[in-house]
Structure formats: C-alpha cells, structure tokens
Amino acid sequence: MAHNNFPGGAWPVMLTPFTQDNQVDYQALADLTEWYIKNGCSGLFSDCQSSEMFFLSLPERVKIAKTVIDAAKGRVPVIVSGHISDKVEDQITEMQAIAELRPAALIFITNRFATEQQSDAVWRENCEKVMNALPADLPLGLYECPYPYKRLISDENLKWCAKTERFYFVKDTCCDLELIKHRLDIVKGSVFKIYNANTTTLLDSLKAGCAGFCGVMASFQMDLYAWLCSHLDDPRAVKLQHLLTITSLIERQCYPVNAKYYLKTYEGLNLTTVCRTRKDSELTATFKDEVAQLKDLTAEVRQSLGI
C-alpha cells in the first residue's frame, strides 16, 4: 500500500469481542471485520480504546491486529495502535511487535509520551525515540485518546510531526470545528490527513478538508457514516448530519456493551456483550430499549437513502 493512500471515508474504531469466559473471540473478531467492510468502511482502526486495549495483554493485542489484517485481506487498510505502557522502552517493545505485522500505519497515542504536567519538548523527545526504533518505511499516525487523560496535540507538535514526513493519519478528538480548521491549515501541503471522531462537527469538518470519520458510532451506523462521507453536497446530507448528532448520544449509554448488544441482536453477529472495561450487567432494560429505537430509526433512514 502506498504511504499516501489513506482513503477518505468512515473508519471504525474496532470493538474486541470476548467469549463468556472473558477470552478474546478471534472468530467473532474476523466476522466483525467482515461486517464493517460489507457496510462500507474505508479502513479499520484496531487495538484502539474501543478495542479495550488498556485491558489487553501484548500477545492479545498482536493477535488481534493480525486477525483483523488477515480478515481484511487487503480490501481496506488496517491501522493499529496498542502501545499502552508508561515507559518509553516498553512502548518500543509493544510497537516493534505490532510493526512486524506491517499494518497500513502504526498509531501513536498522544498521552503516552508525556504526563499532563510535562512539556511539549518532553513529548517530542519521547515520540522521536519510539519513532526512530521503528522501520523507517512504516507510516505513523496519532490518536488523541481520552484515557487515561486527553492530551490534544499542540500546534508545535503537530508541525513537528508533519515535518518528519512519517505521519499520515490523525484521529482528531478535539470536538472543536474551529480548531480542526486551524489544524487543517497547519498540515496543508503535508502527507497528514485528519479524521474527525466527533459526529456533531463531522459534515462541516469534511467540507473544510477533513479526510473522514473515525469514531465510535461506526459500530452502530457504519453505512450511514460511509454515505455521509461520500455525499457532502447531497441536499439530504444536512438532515442526516442532524440525525447522526442526536443518535450519537447513545455513546454515553453503557458503551461498548451497548454496541456489542446492537451487533448481536440486530445485525446477527455471533458475539457476546462481555467487556473488560465494564460489566455487561450494566446494560439495563432501558439501555436496551434505546438500542432498539436506534435500530428502528436507522432502518428508516437507510430506506430513505436507498442504502
């Protein structure tokens, strides 16, 4: 895959299915990969926070990435993160293990290179150490993961990353349209592409130059996000944007348990609702009703769009 060939469109942050006894269900993961692809994803983000990466061992993270890459069969690019350690040396070990799989890109978590109190200079020093320990021809990216704390990429660090010509993908979680536009100006002319994780600002950010969507709701409404990303000038896009904004509030209702429940109950995937980040018993009857109503509303919109 060419380094600059990161297609625009919708990129799901992938879930990790678990068995009833809390082991990674690799067959269900392969099936989930197929579901995302059949529903129009442009690429896949494995070993991210939605994958519960902070609750996975390194061997699990490596096998998860390999499973997704193998299941995708080159039909869409697969980017992978999975560096969760505090020490830079341990992060290098994690990233080198995943680099051997040759994903489309390795994604750096922006809160891993410095504590909340440490400076941008410390961040760049540690980022450079990890970067230099990886194959020089392997594309890199950034993800502003909100756990364990959110570190938004600063202007200075974004400029520095762009100048290295090794970073191609940014999963932006700032949720601020004006800041996104400012960042687009910073990376203009570079190989960097910005993918917005926030639904509310999505359509406007795409029109401003963002490459696509990379967020939670692709596990509920994959095809609707794919449609929106490819129909910016369609008069129905604004109405769809409004709907997606309101329905995205379900992210706050026992995610990722509710997403697994949706995929199992309404998309027919053979997976459990078991998670490591929270108990699936937290999914109340009311939460289930919300998912059912989301499903019905989504089906109506799909029909109106001819999807």
Rounded-to-integer distance, Cα 54 and Cα 304, Å: 40
Show pLDDT as tens, one digit a residue, over the chain (307 residues). Answer: 345 579 999 999 999 999 999 999 999 999 999 999 999 999 999 999 999 999 999 999 999 999 999 999 999 999 999 899 999 999 999 999 999 999 999 999 999 999 999 999 999 999 999 999 999 999 999 999 999 999 999 999 999 999 999 999 999 999 999 999 999 999 999 999 999 999 999 999 999 999 999 999 999 999 999 999 999 999 999 999 999 999 999 999 999 999 999 999 999 999 999 999 999 999 999 999 999 999 999 999 999 999 9
**Long-range CB contacts (within 8 A, 24+) of 254-260:** 254/278, 254/282, 254/283, 254/284, 254/287, 255/216, 256/15, 256/50, 256/52, 256/219, 257/282, 257/283, 258/283, 258/287, 258/288, 258/290, 258/291, 259/15, 259/216, 259/219, 259/220, 260/15, 260/17
Alpha-carbon Rg for the chain, nearest whole angstrom, is 18
How many CB atoms neighbour CB 96 within 10 A? 15
Q: Answer yes or no: are the C-beta atoms of 162 and 126 closer than 8 Å.
A: no
**pLDDT value of position 1:** 39
The tokens for 154 are: 């600063």
CB 94 within 8 A of CB 85: yes
> Whole-angstrom Cα distance, residue 81 to residue 132?
16
Q: Is the pTM of this model over 0.85?
A: yes
Q: What is the CATH number of domain 9-231?
A: 3.20.20.70
Strand order from edge to edge, sheet including 167-172: 9-10, 212-213, 193-196, 167-172, 140-143, 105-109, 78-80, 44-46
The separation between the first and the last C-alpha atoms of the chain, rounded to the nearest angstrom, is 29
pLDDT at 2: 43
Contacts of 195 (CB under 8 A, 6+ apart): 11, 169, 170, 171, 172, 210, 211, 212, 213, 214
Q: Domain coordinates of the chain in residue numbers?
A: 9-231
Alpha-carbon dihedral of residues 39, 43, 47, 50, nearest 10 degrees? -50
Upstream peptide bond of 59 is cis (omega within 30 degrees of 0):
no
- Rounded to whole angstroms, the Cα distance separating 5 from 226 reads 18
Our CA angle for 251, 73, 51, nearest 5°, is: 25
Helices (H), the chain: 26-38, 58-72, 88-99, 120-132, 155-164, 177-187, 202-208, 218-230, 237-247, 257-266, 285-305
Residues in the chain: 307
Amino acid letter for position 160: W
